[in-house]
A and B are shown apart, each in its own frame.
Chain A
Amino acid sequence: MRARTLILAACVLLLLAVPPLATVFNQPYYIDLLRRVLIFGIAAVSLNLILGYGGLVSFGHAAYLGVGAYSVGILAFYGIHNGWLQWAVAIVASALVALLIGAISVRTRGIYFIMITLAFTQMLYYLGVSVEEFGGDDGMRLKVKSQFSGLVDLGDPVTYYYVVLALLLACMYLVHRLVNSRFGRVIRAAKSNEARTRAIGFSPYPYQLVAFVIAGAMCGLAGALLANHTAYITPAFMDWTRSGEIMFMVILGGMGSIPGPALGAFALLIVEDQLAGWTQHWQVIFGPLLVLSVLFFKRGLAGLLPGGGKDG
Protein backbone atom coordinates (compact mmCIF):
# COMPACT_ATOMS: atom_id res chain seq x y z
CA MET A 1 0.00 0.00 0.00
CA ARG A 2 2.96 2.35 0.65
CA ALA A 3 4.24 2.07 -2.90
CA ARG A 4 0.78 2.94 -4.18
CA THR A 5 0.63 6.04 -1.98
CA LEU A 6 4.07 7.12 -3.18
CA ILE A 7 3.15 6.73 -6.84
CA LEU A 8 -0.08 8.67 -6.40
CA ALA A 9 1.73 11.39 -4.43
CA ALA A 10 4.26 11.62 -7.28
CA CYS A 11 1.37 12.02 -9.75
CA VAL A 12 -0.02 14.93 -7.70
CA LEU A 13 3.45 16.53 -7.54
CA LEU A 14 3.81 16.19 -11.30
CA LEU A 15 0.42 17.82 -11.80
CA LEU A 16 1.48 20.63 -9.46
CA ALA A 17 4.63 21.07 -11.54
CA VAL A 18 2.86 21.31 -14.90
CA PRO A 19 2.40 25.13 -14.99
CA PRO A 20 6.00 26.03 -14.04
CA LEU A 21 7.39 23.38 -16.42
CA ALA A 22 5.12 24.53 -19.25
CA THR A 23 6.28 28.09 -18.65
CA VAL A 24 9.96 27.13 -18.59
CA PHE A 25 9.66 25.18 -21.85
CA ASN A 26 7.37 27.84 -23.28
CA GLN A 27 4.56 25.35 -23.95
CA PRO A 28 1.47 27.04 -22.42
CA TYR A 29 -0.71 24.69 -24.46
CA TYR A 30 -0.05 21.92 -21.96
CA ILE A 31 -1.57 23.91 -19.12
CA ASP A 32 -4.72 24.13 -21.18
CA LEU A 33 -4.67 20.46 -22.13
CA LEU A 34 -4.06 19.25 -18.57
CA ARG A 35 -6.75 21.56 -17.22
CA ARG A 36 -9.19 19.93 -19.61
CA VAL A 37 -8.01 16.53 -18.38
CA LEU A 38 -8.59 17.58 -14.77
CA ILE A 39 -12.08 18.89 -15.50
CA PHE A 40 -13.06 15.64 -17.20
CA GLY A 41 -11.38 13.90 -14.29
CA ILE A 42 -13.99 15.47 -12.00
CA ALA A 43 -16.78 14.32 -14.32
CA ALA A 44 -15.34 10.78 -14.37
CA VAL A 45 -14.84 10.73 -10.58
CA SER A 46 -18.49 11.67 -10.14
CA LEU A 47 -19.68 8.97 -12.55
CA ASN A 48 -17.49 6.43 -10.77
CA LEU A 49 -19.47 6.97 -7.57
CA ILE A 50 -22.62 5.55 -9.17
CA LEU A 51 -21.06 3.35 -11.87
CA GLY A 52 -18.01 1.91 -10.15
CA TYR A 53 -19.33 1.76 -6.60
CA GLY A 54 -23.09 1.74 -7.15
CA GLY A 55 -23.30 -0.41 -10.28
CA LEU A 56 -25.66 2.09 -11.93
CA VAL A 57 -24.63 2.21 -15.58
CA SER A 58 -25.69 5.77 -16.35
CA PHE A 59 -25.32 6.46 -20.04
CA GLY A 60 -26.34 10.08 -19.66
CA HIS A 61 -23.79 11.62 -17.40
CA ALA A 62 -22.96 14.39 -19.89
CA ALA A 63 -26.37 15.88 -19.05
CA TYR A 64 -24.96 17.38 -15.86
CA LEU A 65 -21.91 18.69 -17.69
CA GLY A 66 -24.38 20.57 -19.88
CA VAL A 67 -26.63 21.73 -17.04
CA GLY A 68 -23.60 23.02 -15.12
CA ALA A 69 -22.16 24.79 -18.17
CA TYR A 70 -25.48 26.33 -19.21
CA SER A 71 -26.11 27.50 -15.62
CA VAL A 72 -22.94 29.57 -15.84
CA GLY A 73 -23.64 30.64 -19.43
CA ILE A 74 -27.25 31.68 -18.90
CA LEU A 75 -26.49 33.65 -15.72
CA ALA A 76 -23.62 35.38 -17.55
CA PHE A 77 -25.98 36.06 -20.48
CA TYR A 78 -28.19 38.02 -18.07
CA GLY A 79 -25.22 39.90 -16.70
CA ILE A 80 -24.69 37.91 -13.50
CA HIS A 81 -20.99 37.14 -13.32
CA ASN A 82 -20.64 36.32 -9.64
CA GLY A 83 -18.84 32.98 -9.66
CA TRP A 84 -19.96 31.90 -6.21
CA LEU A 85 -23.56 32.26 -7.33
CA GLN A 86 -22.96 30.78 -10.80
CA TRP A 87 -21.24 27.69 -9.48
CA ALA A 88 -23.75 27.24 -6.69
CA VAL A 89 -26.56 27.41 -9.26
CA ALA A 90 -24.68 24.96 -11.49
CA ILE A 91 -24.39 22.45 -8.63
CA VAL A 92 -27.96 22.87 -7.37
CA ALA A 93 -29.49 22.80 -10.86
CA SER A 94 -27.56 19.63 -11.72
CA ALA A 95 -28.63 18.05 -8.45
CA LEU A 96 -32.27 18.85 -9.19
CA VAL A 97 -32.05 17.48 -12.72
CA ALA A 98 -30.35 14.36 -11.33
CA LEU A 99 -33.12 14.03 -8.74
CA LEU A 100 -35.75 14.13 -11.47
CA ILE A 101 -33.93 11.71 -13.79
CA GLY A 102 -32.87 9.47 -10.91
CA ALA A 103 -36.32 9.31 -9.32
CA ILE A 104 -37.55 7.63 -12.48
CA SER A 105 -34.50 5.76 -13.73
CA VAL A 106 -33.09 4.33 -10.47
CA ARG A 107 -36.23 2.21 -10.10
CA THR A 108 -35.24 0.35 -13.25
CA ARG A 109 -32.35 -2.00 -13.84
CA GLY A 110 -30.03 -3.11 -16.58
CA ILE A 111 -30.73 -2.05 -20.13
CA TYR A 112 -33.79 0.00 -19.07
CA PHE A 113 -31.67 2.12 -16.76
CA ILE A 114 -29.13 2.73 -19.52
CA MET A 115 -31.84 3.67 -22.02
CA ILE A 116 -33.74 5.99 -19.67
CA THR A 117 -30.63 7.91 -18.63
CA LEU A 118 -29.65 8.18 -22.29
CA ALA A 119 -33.13 9.35 -23.29
CA PHE A 120 -33.24 12.11 -20.68
CA THR A 121 -29.85 13.38 -21.76
CA GLN A 122 -30.94 13.41 -25.39
CA MET A 123 -33.97 15.49 -24.35
CA LEU A 124 -31.68 18.02 -22.67
CA TYR A 125 -29.42 17.99 -25.71
CA TYR A 126 -32.30 18.88 -28.03
CA LEU A 127 -33.50 21.47 -25.56
CA GLY A 128 -30.06 23.09 -25.84
CA VAL A 129 -30.23 22.88 -29.64
CA SER A 130 -33.70 24.40 -29.82
CA VAL A 131 -33.40 27.42 -27.53
CA GLU A 132 -32.27 30.09 -29.99
CA GLU A 133 -31.83 32.73 -27.34
CA PHE A 134 -28.82 30.86 -25.96
CA GLY A 135 -27.30 30.18 -29.35
CA GLY A 136 -29.20 27.00 -30.22
CA ASP A 137 -27.08 24.55 -32.13
CA ASP A 138 -24.16 26.97 -32.34
CA GLY A 139 -23.91 27.56 -28.64
CA MET A 140 -22.86 30.80 -27.03
CA ARG A 141 -19.75 32.59 -25.93
CA LEU A 142 -18.98 33.11 -22.28
CA LYS A 143 -17.74 36.68 -22.61
CA VAL A 144 -16.87 37.14 -18.94
CA LYS A 145 -15.50 34.31 -16.84
CA SER A 146 -16.91 33.60 -13.38
CA GLN A 147 -15.84 36.34 -10.97
CA PHE A 148 -14.79 35.44 -7.43
CA SER A 149 -14.89 38.76 -5.57
CA GLY A 150 -11.39 39.48 -6.84
CA LEU A 151 -10.05 36.51 -4.81
CA VAL A 152 -9.08 34.34 -7.74
CA ASP A 153 -8.84 35.32 -11.39
CA LEU A 154 -9.90 32.50 -13.69
CA GLY A 155 -8.63 34.60 -16.57
CA ASP A 156 -5.12 33.64 -15.47
CA PRO A 157 -4.54 30.17 -16.95
CA VAL A 158 -2.19 29.07 -14.18
CA THR A 159 -4.48 30.19 -11.36
CA TYR A 160 -7.40 28.50 -13.05
CA TYR A 161 -5.36 25.33 -13.48
CA TYR A 162 -4.66 25.15 -9.76
CA VAL A 163 -8.30 25.85 -8.90
CA VAL A 164 -9.36 22.90 -11.04
CA LEU A 165 -6.64 20.65 -9.61
CA ALA A 166 -7.71 21.51 -6.04
CA LEU A 167 -11.35 20.79 -6.88
CA LEU A 168 -10.49 17.44 -8.48
CA LEU A 169 -8.54 16.36 -5.40
CA ALA A 170 -11.37 17.56 -3.16
CA CYS A 171 -13.90 15.55 -5.20
CA MET A 172 -11.71 12.44 -5.00
CA TYR A 173 -11.45 12.84 -1.23
CA LEU A 174 -15.19 13.36 -0.95
CA VAL A 175 -15.91 10.18 -2.93
CA HIS A 176 -13.36 8.33 -0.82
CA ARG A 177 -15.20 9.35 2.36
CA LEU A 178 -18.60 8.59 0.85
CA VAL A 179 -17.83 5.09 -0.37
CA ASN A 180 -16.33 4.08 2.97
CA SER A 181 -19.17 5.48 5.05
CA ARG A 182 -22.28 3.56 6.07
CA PHE A 183 -24.00 5.17 3.09
CA GLY A 184 -21.30 3.93 0.75
CA ARG A 185 -21.45 0.41 2.17
CA VAL A 186 -25.15 0.25 1.28
CA ILE A 187 -24.75 1.28 -2.36
CA ARG A 188 -21.78 -1.05 -2.77
CA ALA A 189 -23.73 -3.86 -1.15
CA ALA A 190 -26.64 -3.26 -3.52
CA LYS A 191 -24.23 -3.45 -6.44
CA SER A 192 -22.64 -6.65 -5.16
CA ASN A 193 -25.88 -8.52 -4.39
CA GLU A 194 -29.20 -6.72 -4.45
CA ALA A 195 -31.35 -9.67 -3.30
CA ARG A 196 -29.15 -10.18 -0.26
CA THR A 197 -29.19 -6.46 0.49
CA ARG A 198 -32.98 -6.40 0.52
CA ALA A 199 -33.13 -9.60 2.55
CA ILE A 200 -31.05 -8.13 5.38
CA GLY A 201 -33.35 -5.12 5.50
CA PHE A 202 -32.04 -2.36 3.23
CA SER A 203 -34.28 -0.69 0.66
CA PRO A 204 -31.55 0.30 -1.80
CA TYR A 205 -33.62 2.83 -3.77
CA PRO A 206 -33.29 5.95 -1.55
CA TYR A 207 -29.56 5.35 -1.10
CA GLN A 208 -28.99 4.84 -4.81
CA LEU A 209 -31.04 7.93 -5.59
CA VAL A 210 -29.00 10.09 -3.20
CA ALA A 211 -25.78 8.75 -4.76
CA PHE A 212 -27.19 9.57 -8.20
CA VAL A 213 -27.93 13.14 -7.08
CA ILE A 214 -24.49 13.63 -5.51
CA ALA A 215 -22.85 12.36 -8.71
CA GLY A 216 -25.00 14.72 -10.79
CA ALA A 217 -24.14 17.70 -8.60
CA MET A 218 -20.44 16.94 -8.78
CA CYS A 219 -20.58 16.62 -12.55
CA GLY A 220 -22.48 19.92 -12.63
CA LEU A 221 -19.45 21.53 -11.02
CA ALA A 222 -17.30 20.02 -13.77
CA GLY A 223 -19.72 21.59 -16.27
CA ALA A 224 -19.28 25.03 -14.69
CA LEU A 225 -15.52 24.54 -14.90
CA LEU A 226 -15.75 23.41 -18.52
CA ALA A 227 -17.77 26.52 -19.47
CA ASN A 228 -15.00 28.71 -18.03
CA HIS A 229 -12.33 26.53 -19.62
CA THR A 230 -13.61 26.78 -23.17
CA ALA A 231 -15.34 30.17 -22.67
CA TYR A 232 -17.90 28.67 -25.00
CA ILE A 233 -21.03 26.67 -24.21
CA THR A 234 -22.67 24.39 -26.75
CA PRO A 235 -25.20 21.56 -26.71
CA ALA A 236 -22.30 19.31 -27.78
CA PHE A 237 -21.37 19.13 -24.08
CA MET A 238 -24.44 16.94 -23.71
CA ASP A 239 -23.94 14.81 -26.80
CA TRP A 240 -24.38 11.11 -26.10
CA THR A 241 -20.85 10.43 -27.33
CA ARG A 242 -19.68 12.68 -24.50
CA SER A 243 -21.53 10.48 -22.00
CA GLY A 244 -19.79 7.52 -23.60
CA GLU A 245 -16.39 9.18 -23.25
CA ILE A 246 -16.88 9.87 -19.55
CA MET A 247 -18.02 6.31 -19.05
CA PHE A 248 -15.00 5.09 -20.94
CA MET A 249 -12.67 7.15 -18.74
CA VAL A 250 -14.11 5.39 -15.70
CA ILE A 251 -13.84 1.92 -17.23
CA LEU A 252 -10.38 2.49 -18.67
CA GLY A 253 -9.10 4.01 -15.43
CA GLY A 254 -10.65 1.43 -13.16
CA MET A 255 -14.19 1.22 -11.81
CA GLY A 256 -14.48 1.28 -8.04
CA SER A 257 -11.09 2.87 -7.57
CA ILE A 258 -10.50 6.40 -6.29
CA PRO A 259 -7.64 7.47 -8.62
CA GLY A 260 -8.86 5.32 -11.52
CA PRO A 261 -11.27 7.74 -13.22
CA ALA A 262 -8.73 10.57 -13.15
CA LEU A 263 -6.13 8.24 -14.67
CA GLY A 264 -8.67 7.26 -17.29
CA ALA A 265 -9.43 10.88 -18.15
CA PHE A 266 -5.70 11.53 -18.44
CA ALA A 267 -5.03 8.52 -20.66
CA LEU A 268 -8.02 9.07 -22.94
CA LEU A 269 -7.56 12.79 -23.52
CA ILE A 270 -3.77 12.72 -23.85
CA VAL A 271 -3.78 9.82 -26.32
CA GLU A 272 -6.59 11.51 -28.24
CA ASP A 273 -4.58 14.74 -28.35
CA GLN A 274 -1.37 13.05 -29.50
CA LEU A 275 -3.06 10.98 -32.21
CA ALA A 276 -5.02 13.98 -33.46
CA GLY A 277 -1.76 15.88 -33.84
CA TRP A 278 -0.33 13.03 -35.86
CA THR A 279 -3.09 12.15 -38.29
CA GLN A 280 -6.53 13.33 -39.26
CA HIS A 281 -7.82 9.79 -39.10
CA TRP A 282 -6.79 9.35 -35.48
CA GLN A 283 -10.05 7.63 -34.56
CA VAL A 284 -9.06 4.64 -36.69
CA ILE A 285 -6.14 4.04 -34.33
CA PHE A 286 -7.94 5.23 -31.24
CA GLY A 287 -10.80 2.74 -31.47
CA PRO A 288 -8.68 -0.43 -31.51
CA LEU A 289 -6.50 1.02 -28.73
CA LEU A 290 -9.57 1.36 -26.53
CA VAL A 291 -10.65 -2.19 -27.26
CA LEU A 292 -7.19 -3.55 -26.48
CA SER A 293 -6.95 -1.59 -23.25
CA VAL A 294 -10.25 -2.97 -22.01
CA LEU A 295 -9.18 -6.50 -22.94
CA PHE A 296 -5.81 -6.29 -21.23
CA PHE A 297 -6.45 -4.03 -18.23
CA LYS A 298 -9.49 -5.73 -16.77
CA ARG A 299 -9.23 -3.72 -13.57
CA GLY A 300 -8.34 -0.57 -15.44
CA LEU A 301 -5.19 1.48 -15.26
CA ALA A 302 -5.57 1.71 -11.48
CA GLY A 303 -5.26 -2.09 -11.44
CA LEU A 304 -1.66 -1.68 -12.64
CA LEU A 305 -0.79 0.27 -9.48
CA PRO A 306 0.66 -1.68 -6.58
CA GLY A 307 -2.20 -2.56 -4.25
CA GLY A 308 -4.65 -3.41 -7.03
CA GLY A 309 -7.56 -1.70 -8.63
CA LYS A 310 -9.99 -1.37 -5.74
CA ASP A 311 -10.15 1.19 -2.98
CA GLY A 312 -11.97 1.20 0.29
Chain B
Amino acid sequence: MAESILAVQALRKSFGALAATDGVDLDLREGETHAIIGPNGAGKTTLIGQLAGNLRPDSGSIRFAGEDITHLSAPQRARRGFARSFQITSIYRDFTALDNVALAVQAHAGHSFRFWRAAREERALRDPARVVLEEVGLGARADVLAANLAHGEQRQLEVAMALATRPRLLLLDEPVAGMGLEESERMVQFLSGLKGRQTIILVEHDMDAVFTLADRISVLVYGRIIASGAPEEVRANAEVRRAYLGEEA
Protein backbone atom coordinates (compact mmCIF):
# COMPACT_ATOMS: atom_id res chain seq x y z
CA MET B 1 0.00 0.00 0.00
CA ALA B 2 1.33 3.41 -0.99
CA GLU B 3 2.21 5.98 1.65
CA SER B 4 -0.70 8.21 2.63
CA ILE B 5 -0.22 11.84 1.64
CA LEU B 6 -3.20 13.18 3.53
CA ALA B 7 -4.36 11.76 6.83
CA VAL B 8 -7.39 13.25 8.49
CA GLN B 9 -8.23 12.03 11.98
CA ALA B 10 -11.36 12.51 14.07
CA LEU B 11 -12.07 15.90 12.53
CA ARG B 12 -14.93 17.79 14.17
CA LYS B 13 -16.51 21.14 13.45
CA SER B 14 -19.80 22.39 14.84
CA PHE B 15 -21.82 25.48 14.16
CA GLY B 16 -23.93 25.82 17.29
CA ALA B 17 -25.80 22.55 17.70
CA LEU B 18 -25.13 21.46 14.15
CA ALA B 19 -22.19 19.07 13.83
CA ALA B 20 -21.19 19.84 10.23
CA THR B 21 -18.12 17.64 10.49
CA ASP B 22 -18.72 14.86 12.98
CA GLY B 23 -15.58 12.78 13.42
CA VAL B 24 -14.28 12.43 9.89
CA ASP B 25 -11.34 10.13 9.15
CA LEU B 26 -9.87 10.22 5.69
CA ASP B 27 -6.76 8.68 4.23
CA LEU B 28 -5.40 9.60 0.84
CA ARG B 29 -2.77 7.58 -0.99
CA GLU B 30 -0.24 9.23 -3.23
CA GLY B 31 -1.50 9.22 -6.82
CA GLU B 32 -5.11 8.25 -6.20
CA THR B 33 -8.23 10.12 -7.17
CA HIS B 34 -10.46 10.11 -4.14
CA ALA B 35 -14.01 11.32 -4.57
CA ILE B 36 -16.10 12.71 -1.74
CA ILE B 37 -19.79 12.57 -2.43
CA GLY B 38 -22.84 13.25 -0.37
CA PRO B 39 -26.26 14.86 -0.54
CA ASN B 40 -26.70 18.59 -0.11
CA GLY B 41 -26.09 19.64 3.47
CA ALA B 42 -23.85 16.65 4.16
CA GLY B 43 -21.01 18.93 5.21
CA LYS B 44 -18.83 18.74 2.11
CA THR B 45 -18.17 22.49 1.98
CA THR B 46 -17.28 22.57 5.67
CA LEU B 47 -14.92 19.64 5.22
CA ILE B 48 -13.23 21.26 2.22
CA GLY B 49 -12.90 24.52 4.14
CA GLN B 50 -11.03 22.69 6.88
CA LEU B 51 -8.83 20.78 4.45
CA ALA B 52 -7.89 23.96 2.55
CA GLY B 53 -7.28 25.96 5.73
CA ASN B 54 -10.13 28.46 5.54
CA LEU B 55 -11.93 26.97 8.53
CA ARG B 56 -10.42 25.85 11.82
CA PRO B 57 -11.65 22.47 13.07
CA ASP B 58 -12.88 22.25 16.68
CA SER B 59 -10.81 19.11 17.17
CA GLY B 60 -9.00 16.41 15.28
CA SER B 61 -5.93 16.62 13.09
CA ILE B 62 -4.89 16.90 9.48
CA ARG B 63 -1.51 15.60 8.37
CA PHE B 64 -0.20 16.42 4.94
CA ALA B 65 2.92 14.71 3.58
CA GLY B 66 3.90 13.70 7.10
CA GLU B 67 3.46 17.16 8.59
CA ASP B 68 0.71 18.32 10.95
CA ILE B 69 -1.00 21.17 9.07
CA THR B 70 -4.09 21.43 11.30
CA HIS B 71 -3.20 24.97 12.38
CA LEU B 72 -1.68 26.29 9.16
CA SER B 73 -3.39 29.01 7.12
CA ALA B 74 -4.61 28.54 3.56
CA PRO B 75 -1.54 30.26 1.99
CA GLN B 76 0.81 28.16 4.13
CA ARG B 77 -0.90 24.98 3.00
CA ALA B 78 -0.81 26.17 -0.60
CA ARG B 79 2.95 26.70 -0.37
CA ARG B 80 3.32 23.13 0.91
CA GLY B 81 1.64 21.80 -2.19
CA PHE B 82 -2.09 22.02 -1.56
CA ALA B 83 -3.98 23.45 -4.54
CA ARG B 84 -7.68 23.82 -5.03
CA SER B 85 -10.46 24.93 -7.30
CA PHE B 86 -13.60 26.52 -5.90
CA GLN B 87 -17.21 25.46 -6.28
CA ILE B 88 -17.97 28.89 -7.73
CA THR B 89 -15.27 29.72 -10.26
CA SER B 90 -12.58 31.78 -8.61
CA ILE B 91 -10.20 33.46 -11.03
CA TYR B 92 -8.84 36.95 -11.66
CA ARG B 93 -11.52 38.14 -14.03
CA ASP B 94 -9.72 41.38 -14.92
CA PHE B 95 -6.44 39.63 -15.78
CA THR B 96 -5.66 37.71 -18.95
CA ALA B 97 -5.65 33.92 -18.82
CA LEU B 98 -1.86 33.90 -19.01
CA ASP B 99 -1.56 36.49 -16.20
CA ASN B 100 -3.85 34.33 -14.06
CA VAL B 101 -1.60 31.32 -14.40
CA ALA B 102 1.62 33.35 -14.18
CA LEU B 103 0.48 34.58 -10.76
CA ALA B 104 0.08 31.00 -9.61
CA VAL B 105 3.62 30.29 -10.82
CA GLN B 106 4.86 33.43 -9.05
CA ALA B 107 3.26 32.33 -5.78
CA HIS B 108 5.61 29.37 -5.75
CA ALA B 109 8.73 31.15 -6.98
CA GLY B 110 10.00 32.54 -3.69
CA HIS B 111 8.94 35.81 -2.08
CA SER B 112 7.46 38.59 -4.18
CA PHE B 113 9.18 41.57 -2.59
CA ARG B 114 10.63 42.44 -5.98
CA PHE B 115 9.72 45.99 -6.77
CA TRP B 116 11.29 47.03 -10.03
CA ARG B 117 11.39 44.51 -12.85
CA ALA B 118 8.21 44.11 -14.90
CA ALA B 119 6.73 40.73 -13.96
CA ARG B 120 5.08 40.33 -17.36
CA GLU B 121 8.50 40.29 -18.99
CA GLU B 122 9.84 37.55 -16.77
CA ARG B 123 10.17 34.38 -18.77
CA ALA B 124 10.61 32.41 -15.55
CA LEU B 125 6.93 33.18 -14.86
CA ARG B 126 5.52 33.32 -18.39
CA ASP B 127 7.00 30.18 -19.89
CA PRO B 128 5.80 27.68 -17.25
CA ALA B 129 2.40 29.42 -17.27
CA ARG B 130 2.14 29.00 -21.04
CA VAL B 131 3.01 25.31 -20.78
CA VAL B 132 0.21 24.70 -18.28
CA LEU B 133 -2.28 26.68 -20.37
CA GLU B 134 -1.41 24.50 -23.37
CA GLU B 135 -1.82 21.44 -21.22
CA VAL B 136 -5.41 22.29 -20.23
CA GLY B 137 -6.20 23.32 -23.80
CA LEU B 138 -6.29 27.09 -23.37
CA GLY B 139 -3.07 27.81 -25.25
CA ALA B 140 -4.86 29.79 -27.94
CA ARG B 141 -6.73 31.85 -25.35
CA ALA B 142 -3.70 33.02 -23.35
CA ASP B 143 -4.19 36.73 -24.01
CA VAL B 144 -7.95 36.83 -23.51
CA LEU B 145 -9.28 38.53 -20.37
CA ALA B 146 -10.47 35.82 -18.03
CA ALA B 147 -13.86 37.53 -17.72
CA ASN B 148 -14.35 37.05 -21.47
CA LEU B 149 -13.69 33.31 -21.44
CA ALA B 150 -16.62 30.90 -21.71
CA HIS B 151 -17.76 29.33 -18.45
CA GLY B 152 -16.13 26.01 -19.27
CA GLU B 153 -12.89 27.74 -20.18
CA GLN B 154 -12.93 29.60 -16.87
CA ARG B 155 -13.21 26.26 -15.06
CA GLN B 156 -10.26 24.98 -17.10
CA LEU B 157 -8.32 28.13 -16.24
CA GLU B 158 -8.93 27.55 -12.56
CA VAL B 159 -7.57 24.02 -12.87
CA ALA B 160 -4.60 25.42 -14.80
CA MET B 161 -3.86 27.83 -11.93
CA ALA B 162 -3.97 24.97 -9.46
CA LEU B 163 -1.69 22.82 -11.61
CA ALA B 164 0.76 25.69 -12.15
CA THR B 165 1.61 25.58 -8.46
CA ARG B 166 2.88 21.98 -9.03
CA PRO B 167 0.67 20.71 -6.24
CA ARG B 168 1.16 17.48 -4.32
CA LEU B 169 -2.57 17.41 -3.74
CA LEU B 170 -5.27 18.85 -5.95
CA LEU B 171 -8.66 19.54 -4.40
CA LEU B 172 -11.36 20.00 -7.01
CA ASP B 173 -14.68 21.34 -5.76
CA GLU B 174 -17.32 20.41 -8.33
CA PRO B 175 -15.12 20.90 -11.39
CA VAL B 176 -17.90 20.15 -13.89
CA ALA B 177 -20.66 22.08 -12.13
CA GLY B 178 -22.63 24.28 -14.51
CA MET B 179 -20.91 22.88 -17.60
CA GLY B 180 -22.60 21.77 -20.78
CA LEU B 181 -22.40 18.10 -21.72
CA GLU B 182 -19.54 18.59 -24.16
CA GLU B 183 -17.51 20.84 -21.84
CA SER B 184 -18.08 18.45 -19.00
CA GLU B 185 -16.89 15.49 -21.05
CA ARG B 186 -13.77 17.38 -22.07
CA MET B 187 -12.99 18.20 -18.43
CA VAL B 188 -13.53 14.61 -17.30
CA GLN B 189 -11.25 13.45 -20.11
CA PHE B 190 -8.59 15.97 -19.07
CA LEU B 191 -8.80 14.95 -15.42
CA SER B 192 -8.54 11.28 -16.28
CA GLY B 193 -5.30 12.20 -18.04
CA LEU B 194 -3.97 13.40 -14.71
CA LYS B 195 -4.80 10.11 -12.99
CA GLY B 196 -1.83 8.42 -11.46
CA ARG B 197 0.41 11.49 -11.88
CA GLN B 198 -1.61 13.66 -9.56
CA THR B 199 -3.25 13.02 -6.23
CA ILE B 200 -6.78 14.40 -6.39
CA ILE B 201 -9.65 14.95 -4.00
CA LEU B 202 -12.74 15.26 -6.11
CA VAL B 203 -15.95 16.66 -4.68
CA GLU B 204 -18.63 16.28 -7.30
CA HIS B 205 -22.35 15.82 -7.73
CA ASP B 206 -22.10 14.45 -11.25
CA MET B 207 -22.07 10.69 -10.65
CA ASP B 208 -20.88 9.89 -14.16
CA ALA B 209 -17.79 12.00 -13.55
CA VAL B 210 -17.26 10.49 -10.10
CA PHE B 211 -17.52 6.87 -11.24
CA THR B 212 -15.33 7.54 -14.28
CA LEU B 213 -12.55 9.23 -12.34
CA ALA B 214 -12.48 7.96 -8.79
CA ASP B 215 -10.20 5.21 -7.52
CA ARG B 216 -11.95 5.37 -4.19
CA ILE B 217 -15.10 7.07 -2.98
CA SER B 218 -16.04 8.31 0.47
CA VAL B 219 -19.67 9.05 1.17
CA LEU B 220 -20.39 11.91 3.54
CA VAL B 221 -23.80 12.10 5.19
CA TYR B 222 -24.63 14.43 8.10
CA GLY B 223 -20.97 15.15 8.73
CA ARG B 224 -19.94 11.49 8.91
CA ILE B 225 -18.32 9.22 6.38
CA ILE B 226 -20.73 6.33 6.16
CA ALA B 227 -18.82 4.37 3.54
CA SER B 228 -15.45 4.45 1.90
CA GLY B 229 -13.99 2.19 -0.73
CA ALA B 230 -13.68 1.31 -4.39
CA PRO B 231 -16.53 2.55 -6.63
CA GLU B 232 -18.13 -0.92 -6.95
CA GLU B 233 -18.16 -1.42 -3.19
CA VAL B 234 -19.71 1.96 -2.58
CA ARG B 235 -22.27 1.42 -5.29
CA ALA B 236 -23.24 -1.87 -3.68
CA ASN B 237 -23.38 -0.50 -0.12
CA ALA B 238 -26.95 -0.65 1.15
CA GLU B 239 -26.59 2.27 3.52
CA VAL B 240 -25.25 4.47 0.74
CA ARG B 241 -28.07 3.47 -1.56
CA ARG B 242 -30.59 4.35 1.10
CA ALA B 243 -28.96 7.63 2.13
CA TYR B 244 -27.90 8.94 -1.16
CA LEU B 245 -27.74 7.10 -4.42
CA GLY B 246 -31.20 5.69 -4.05
CA GLU B 247 -32.70 9.13 -4.05
CA GLU B 248 -31.06 10.07 -7.30
CA ALA B 249 -31.15 6.78 -9.21
Q: State the A residues within 8 Å of B (CB).
A: 177-178, 180-186, 189, 192-193, 195-203, 207, 210
Contacts and interface: CB of A to CB of B under 8 A. Distances in A.
B95 interface: yes
Interface stretch (B37-45, B116-124, B178-186): B116-124
Contact of A183 (B52, B94, B112, B122): B112
Identify the interface centre among B106, B107, B125, B165: most chain A CB within 10 Å of its CB. Answer: B107
7 contacts: A178-B115, A184-B119, A189-B95, A193-B91, A197-B103, A199-B52, A202-B107
Interface stretch (B13-21, B78-86, B133-141, B193-201): B78-86
B115 A200 contact: no
A181 B94 CA distance: 17
Contacts of B76: 203
Contacts of A199: 52, 74-75, 78, 83-84, 86, 90
Given A184-B119, A192-B92, 4 more contacts: A189-B92, A196-B90, A200-B83, A200-B165
A195 B90 contact: yes
Contacts of B242: none
A199 B169 CA distance: 13
Contacts of A196: 86, 90-92, 161
Nearest to A195: B90
Given A183-B112, A185-B103, A195-B86, A201 B78 contact: yes
Contacts of B165: 200-201
Contact of A182 (B54, B75, B112): B112
Contacts of A201: 75, 78-79, 107-108, 165
Contact of A177 (B83, B95, B113, B116): B116
A174 to B, nearest CB: 9
Interface of B: 52, 54, 73-76, 78-79, 83-84, 86, 90-95, 99, 102-104, 106-108, 112-120, 122, 125, 161-162, 165
Nearest to B161: A200
B78 to A, nearest CB: 3
Nearest to A204: B75
Contact of B106 (A177, A185, A192): A185
Nearest to A178: B115
A180 B121 CA distance: 10
B119 A180 contact: yes
A310 B99 CA distance: 15
Most buried by A among B91, B106, B122, B165: B106
Contacts of B115: 177-178, 181, 183-184
B48 to A, nearest CB: 11
Residue among B104, B115, B162 with the most chain A CB within 10 A? B115
A203 B116 contact: no
Contacts of B113: 182-183, 207, 210
Contacts of B99: 185
B106 A198 contact: no
Contacts of A200: 78, 83, 103-104, 107-108, 161-162, 165
A110 B125 CA distance: 32
B133 to A, nearest CB: 15
Given A185-B106, A185-B119, A193 B114 contact: no
Contacts of B112: 182-183, 185-186, 202, 207
Nearest to B80: A201
B116 A192 contact: no
A198 B75 contact: yes
A203 B73 contact: yes
A199 B53 CA distance: 9
B96 to A, nearest CB: 12
Nearest to A202: B107
Nearest to B105: A200
A198 B94 contact: no
Contact of A181 (B52, B104, B116): B116
